[in-house]
Amino acid sequence: MTNHPILWFEELSRADLPRVGGKNANLGELIRALSLRGIRVPPGFATDATLFRAFLAHNRLGAPIAEALAALAAGRRTLAETGRAIRGLILSGAFPLEAEQAIAEAYAALCARAGVAELAVAVRSSATAEDLPEASFAGQQESFLNVRGLDRLLDACRRCFASLYTDRAIAYRERHGFPHERVALSVGVQQMVDAAAAGVMFSLDPESGFPRVVLLNAAWGLGETVVKGTVNPDRFLVYKPLLERPEVRPIVEKRLGSKALKAILGPDEASPVVILPTSAEEQSRYALEEEEVLALARWAVAVEAHYGTAMDMEWAKDATGGLWLLQARPETIHSRRRRDLLTHYRLKQRGRILLEGAAVGTGIAAGPVCVVRSPAEEERFPDGAILVAERTDPDWVPLMRRAAGIITDAGGTTSHAAIVSRELDLPAVVGTGKATELLDDGQDVTLDCASGAVGRVYEGRLPFDVERIELARLPRTRTQVMINVAVPDASLRWWQLPVSGVGLARIEFIVGSLIRAHPMALLHPDRVADAQLRRRIEALAHSHPSLPEFFVDTLARAVAEIACSRHPDPVIVRTSDFKSNEYRRLLGGEYFEPTEENPMLGLRGASRYYHPAYREAFALECAALRRAREEMGFANVVVMIPFCRTPAEADRVLAVMAENGLRRGENGLQIYVMCEIPANVILAEEFAARFDGFSIGSNDLTQLVLGVDRDSADLRALFDARDPAVKAMIRDVIERAHRVGRPVGICGQAPSDHPDFAEFLVRCGIDSISFNPDSVPAALTHIAAAEQSAP
């Protein structure tokens, strides 16, 4: 060995990758470059790659390994036979005396640092061609936890050497064209963190590639349960640009995972790691406090800034509450993709939902199910089938390559199944709980991961479209183009679109999809006479201190997540506009809603907000909006009031909002009004004196101008926003609003469906047009053409 065989982490940097592999080089880089920033990495050392080569030479293994690989290449041996033979040769080998002494001295020094006779260490493989951007893959080599004593350490090092020739590692190098003899292995020996909680984090959203967030998963105990997908972990999403402001807490998503199991350090060599069930109390509580989430997110930002690329990291929290960064490597999926190319999948029809879980990727796949209990069953898996498994580990990768999509019972979006599915560009629905029980071999299903964070498995093969959009070719327009957003997690998937903000986010959509209960039932569950229904409502808040706090927290984070997708551009959030019949469909709604003959013209929109039957609930909406803007930092949220019939009603609503901390002009708050009633046009100047802008609701305006029920199938032919009377109203409100300095936008499908309508709006000088995201490419083309032809 020409170099010293042991290198302490603090001696290493990224430049040492050829000597100690990516994993160990990155640990050294973290310690050297970021320890002064407060980032803590457990101490340890790495073996130089020359020690691995010396081990092979000392045991004269070069020739037999080469012969075994040649036999594989010639087809005289199977992959399994080849890997088994090479690993057996290495495991039976002995360390050169010099190498053994060097490891022994380094381990003794590490024990002395910690003041422990036999320190527990993590022993990790770090191949010298591992973790390169062009050749990264999850779990290529082995790691061993809770190793104590020199004899066990030497054995773990030998097993790490052998793992360079696992079947999956051999196959991977063959596939990527790495000469086997040019790849060596370094062993990292790191002080073990007896973790109270641990997990994984990415410095971007690994599904959409949205670069301005940190995704963090957490579970109790060691991080193995998260990495291997054994549990469904807690999930946190943090908006990075606002982390610099200590007065705000930009955690835009906070989801409690079931965390049914935890891994802890075992008592002896036979059981180095023990898997235990978690208590009901642990399952009902987050594994991290919010301050710890924010601290880890700031670490992720610092690591990303140092490396100049998105990062994939593992972390742990010890029993004293101390945080540690265990590993870091460059993220290798979205960093390789073109940011100017947007691929959009869309189901053309929907069917019966069989299962739901966490969506991995943004694609759709359809095909027959094949339930596989072990990778040893690879031969019976048909190419192009949907792989269904309890969970996956690195041994499953050859089989996963042949799948069209993947479904697992357990795991979150940072589990092995999720990481490899992204690497292979496969849609996956993970953490379904019972896919292996409910799905049968040969059953046709469709995986939909294109509709948000919830992935769905539908019965049968459903048709879908795939559209690839080159963003650089889309025209730029003078008219602001914005998007309509229905659910928060879907908003991140459209971050690449060249738009000017969100023109419409509907609070009622968030309530219907995420909260699901009538807000008055959350305030007054005692009025819900049905005991079973009351228990269902109370169960919604199992991770919150109260039912009203569940409403406020859930709505605030949903609004914040939408707002972060376009920050600092404006995001117009419309307060709730359920009709009474729609409110009745929420849990507990029948106990609080009147039965109206014509709900479309009844107690809806602004009239609810000061009404005694709903005023308390509107206060919850205000509290959520205030929290999103002030406590979480998203001052780009613009509040919009729907269906405001008179200026006097506007005054009453604005007064109620001010009572609840939302005062127009305070902290930059802008309040818009929907223009969807003829009175809004006729009295435009009076409404403009009370609001900062207008957004035309073309459906309701058309309905009320023409006297046509928008939901009537018999009158559908009469319902047209391009009717001259409706267009006259639109032209009038734009002109009158502009005269008093107020902007006017419109949200609806008509400008996209009808280029002549887009041209009309442009000629009227409308300030913004908001579309559903998938309509934006066509809309930009129509608007650009209209602008060119307009005088």
Is the bond preceding 568 in cis, omega lying within 30 degrees of 0? Answer: yes
Residues 525/529/531/535 CA torsion (nearest 10 deg):
-20
Q: Which residue has the higher pLDDT, 377 or 40?
A: 40
CB atoms within 10 A of CB 52: 25
Q: Write the CB contacts of 522 (distance below 8 Å, at least 6 apart in sequence).
A: 515, 537, 540, 541, 547, 548, 550, 551, 588, 620
What separation in angstroms does the CA of 651 have from each of 655, 671, 686?
6, 12, 11
Burial of 237 (0-12, 13-18, 19+ CB in 10 A): buried
d(CA 233, CA 201): 12
What pLDDT does 365 receive?
95
Helices (H), 259-335: 280-283, 290-307
What pLDDT does 342 receive?
85
What tokens were used for 19? Answer: 């000597």
Of 377, 492, 351, 486, residue with least CA distance to 436: 377
Dihedral sign (CA 145, 416, 278, 222): positive
Residues 85/91/96/102 CA torsion (nearest 10 deg):
140
Q: What is the mean pLDDT of residues 509-518?
A: 94
Average pLDDT, the chain: 93
Confidence of residue 136 (pLDDT cuts 50, 70, 90): very low
Of 342, 690, 688, 667, residue with least CA distance to 483: 342
Q: Write the CB contacts of 166 (distance below 8 Å, at least 6 apart in sequence).
A: 83, 87, 140, 141, 142, 394, 395
Q: Is there a contact between 87 and 167 (Cβ–Cβ < 8 Å)?
A: no
Catalytic residue set = 416, 747
d(CA 309, CA 296): 17
Provide φ and ψ at 523, rounded to 5°: -80, -35
What pLDDT does 135 receive?
46
Q: In terms of pTM, does the model score above 0.75?
A: yes
Whether the pLDDT of residue 728 is over 70: the answer is yes
Q: For helices 167-176 and 79-91, what crossing angle results, to 10°?
A: 120
Q: What is the mean pLDDT of residues 479-491?
A: 89
d(CA 471, CA 421): 25
Helix H or strand E encompassing 342: strand 341-347
Q: Which of 199-203, 451-455, 504-508 has the least mean pLDDT? A: 451-455
Burial of 641 (0-12, 13-18, 19+ CB in 10 A): buried
Confidence of residue 749 (pLDDT cuts 50, 70, 90): low
Q: What is the mean pLDDT of residues 258-275?
A: 92
Q: What is the mean pLDDT of residues 202-216?
A: 95
The CB-side HSE value for 426 (13 A sphere, CA atoms) comes to 26
Q: Is there a contact between 86 and 165 (Cβ–Cβ < 8 Å)?
A: yes
Q: What is the mean pLDDT of residues 413-417?
A: 85
pLDDT tens string 245-261:
999 999 999 999 999 99
Confidence of residue 668 (pLDDT cuts 50, 70, 90): very high
Whether the pLDDT of residue 158 is over 90: the answer is yes
d(CA 363, CA 355): 17
Of 272, 269, 258, residue with least CA distance to 226: 258
Q: Which of 48-62, 481-495, 693-707 has the least mean pLDDT? A: 481-495
Q: What is the mean pLDDT of residues 65-93?
A: 93
Whether the pLDDT of residue 478 is over 80: the answer is yes
Q: Is there a contact between 551 and 620 (Cβ–Cβ < 8 Å)?
A: yes
d(CA 366, CA 49): 45
What pLDDT does 748 receive?
65
The DSSP bridge pattern shows strands 571-574 and 271-277 to be unpaired
Radius of gyration (C-alpha) of the chain in whole angstroms: 30
What pLDDT does 268 receive?
83
Q: Is there a contact between 47 and 83 (Cβ–Cβ < 8 Å)?
A: no
What pLDDT does 132 receive?
43
